[in-house]
Amino acid sequence: MKIAPCNTFGGEFTVPGDKSITHRAVMFNAAAEGEAHITGALPGEDCLSTAACMRALGATVEFGGTEVRVVGTPTFRDADCDCGNSGTTMRLLTGLLAGRKVHAALTGDPSLSARPMERVARPLRELGAAVGTTDGHAPVTVSPARLRGCTVRTGVASAQVKSAVILAALGAEGETVVEEPILTRDHTERMLAAMGADIRAEGTRVTVRGSALHAADVHVPSDISSAAYFLALGALRGEVLCKNVGVNPTRTGLLRVFDEMGVRYALENERTACGEPVADIRVFKSALRPLRMGAELVPSLVDEIPVIAVLCAFAEGESVIAGAQELKVKESDRIASTAAMLNALGGDCTPTADGFIIRGKKSLAGGRVRSLKDHRIAMSGAVALAASARGGEIEDADCVNISFPGFYSMLEGKGE
C-alpha cells in the first residue's frame, strides 16, 4: 500500500465500532437467555472470529454489516474454537467456558499461538477450572470442572485476564473477588451488570457471584483506538472531527497524552449510550511538546502507543515512554516493531526493556514500513507516512482488516 505525504489533512470521520465492546456484546449475548440485536458493531476479522466460535458452541450469530442478531444458549456443546488472530476471543472465551461444563479446544494463528496463555489459565485454576495450555500457549483446552469462588489477583494489568476470571466466576459457587494491579478497561463489568449479573466494581476490585445472563441489545460506539489514527493526523496536519467515539475513562489515556504534548482538542456532544460514555472528539493542528509517561497510564492507551510514538517523533525534543512491557506480547513485539518502523522512516527511537526513548525532530523522511502483519503497526505507519516528507509504502498492509476494515479508503482523499 502506497501512502502519499500531505501538508494538510482534515475532515469528519466516523470510524468503525469498538472492538472490545463488539467482542463482548457478541460473546456475552451468545451465552445469555434470549435474543439480542447489536448495532454499530465492528465487522473486523477479530470480532468475526468471536462470532464463529460462539456459533461452534451452539449459539446463533448473524453478522450483517454492522448489525448482529444473536440468539443465546445458556448451555454450550463441546467444540473446537478457532480464535484466529484474536487474543480477546481466546482469553475471554477460556474464562467463559471454564464454568460451563464443556470440553473445548481453542486454537489460533501463528501470531496468537506465540502469545502467553498461562496468564489466564493460572488464575482460572485458582477457581478450580480445568484449563490446559501447550507450554503456556495455544492450543488451550477447557474441560468440565466445579468452580468455587475465591479471591484472585490477576498479577498483570490486563482487561482480558480480568474479564476471563469474571466470566468464569459467573459459573462458580459463591463469591469471587478479582483484584488487578492497575484499573483496566471495564466494558465487561458494565455490560454484565446490564445483562443481570450480580457484579460490583470498586476501583481495582470486582466482586462477582454466580449468575445467569439475560440478552441485552447493545449500540457499539466508535473505537477510540481506531479514532486515534485520525486524531493524530489532525494534531499533525489539520482539523479532524471523529464522531460518536467511546470515551469510557478506562480508555481515554490518549487524551491525557494530548494534554501533556500540547495537542489542542475538544469533546463535544457528550452523552451516554448503553452504559458507555460517548462524545465527538475534535482535534486541531498543534505544536507538539515531548512526552514522559509511565505504567499508570498504559492500560488506558495500551493499543494507542505505536501511534503515540509517531506523535513523539514529530515533537521537538526527547520523549520517554516507560512501564509498557505489555507491548512485547501483542500481535507483534510492539516495542521492537514500533521502534523499527520509526527508524526505517528516518526517526530516532531507542527501544528499552519497557518502552522507548524517542528523540523528536518535528519530521520524518518517509520510506518503507514493515507491518509484520500487526494491524496497529500498519495504521501507525500510515499516519507516519502521511505526515512524512516523501511518503512511502506499507508491507502486509491488509492486516488492518483485523480491527479497521476500510482504513485506507477513509484516509484517502482527506489530505492535500
Considering CB under 6 A, how many residues would be counted as binding ligand S3P? 11
Minimum gap (Å) between residue 309 Cβ and ligand S3P: 15
Q: Is 240 in the site for ligand S3P (CB under 6 A)?
A: no
Strand residue runs (E) in 336-389 = 349-352, 355-361, 367-370
Q: Residue 371 and residue 219: Cα distance in Å, rounded?
A: 31
Q: Which residue has cell 470498586?
A: 202
Work out how close the CB of 184 gets to ligand S3P at its nearest, in angstroms, rounded to a whole number. Answer: 6
Stretch that binds ligand S3P, among 69-77, 135-143, 155-163, 231-239 (CB under 6 A): 155-163
CB 307 within 8 A of CB 229: yes
CB nearer to ligand S3P: pick between 25 and 397: 25
CB of 165 to ligand S3P, least distance (A): 12
Question: What are 298's three cell numbers?
Answer: 498504559
Q: Is 326 in the site for ligand S3P (CB under 6 A)?
A: yes
159 binds ligand S3P (CB under 6 A): yes
> What are φ and ψ of residue 245, in 5° steps?
-90, 135
H helices of 57-158, in order, are: 87-98, 110-113, 118-126
Distance from C-alpha of 142 to C-alpha of 152, rounded to nearest angstrom: 19
90 lines the binding site for ligand S3P (CB under 6 A): no
Q: Which of 303, 314, 375, 379 binds ligand S3P (CB under 6 A)?
A: 303
Least distance in angstroms from the C-beta of 266 to ligand S3P: 26
Residue of 18, 223, 303, 374 marked catalytic: 303
Q: Which is nearer to ligand S3P, 220 or 236 (CB)?
A: 220
- Please give the Cα distance from 390 to 115 (Å, whole number): 35
Alpha-carbon distance of 50 to 86, in angstroms, equals 8
End-to-end, the C-alpha distance of the chain in Å comes to: 18
Name residues contacting ligand S3P, limited to 254-283 (CB under 6 A).
none
Question: Which residues touch 183 (CB under 8 Å, ≥6 apart)?
Answer: 203, 204, 250, 299
Question: In the annotation, is 198 catalytic?
Answer: no
160 binds ligand S3P (CB under 6 A): yes
Taking CB under 6 A as the rule, does residue 185 contact ligand S3P?
yes
C-beta neighbour count of 322 within 10 angstroms:
16
Closest to ligand S3P by CB, 6 vs 197, is: 197
Interface pick for ligand S3P out of 302, 358, 384, 411 (rule CB under 6 A): 302
337 binds ligand S3P (CB under 6 A): no
Query: What's the min distance (Å) between Cβ of 298 and ligand S3P?
Result: 9
Q: Which cell numbers hold the place of 271?
A: 452523552
| 188 vs 388 by CB, closer to ligand S3P | 188
- Asked if 375 is part of the footprint of ligand S3P (rule: CB under 6 A), the reply reads no
Indicate which single residue of 85, 111, 158, 226 sits in contact with ligand S3P (rule: CB under 6 A).
158
Q: How far is the CB of 302 from ligand S3P (least distance, A)?
A: 5
In angstroms, what is the minimal distance from the CB of 23 to ligand S3P?
6
Cα(4)–Cα(306) distance, integer angstroms:
20
Exposure of 394 in the CB half-sphere (CA atoms within 13 A)? 27
**Residue selected from 1, 9, 15, 20 as contacting ligand S3P according to rule CB under 6 A:** 20
Q: Is 404 helix (H, G, I), strand (E, B) or coil?
A: coil
Range list of H helices, 45-117: 45-56, 87-98, 110-113
Residue 33 CB-density burial (10 A; 0-12 exposed, 13-18 middle, 19+ buried): middle
List residues near ligand S3P by CB under 6 A: 20, 23, 88, 158-160, 163, 185, 302-303, 326
Query: Active-site residue numbers?
Result: 303
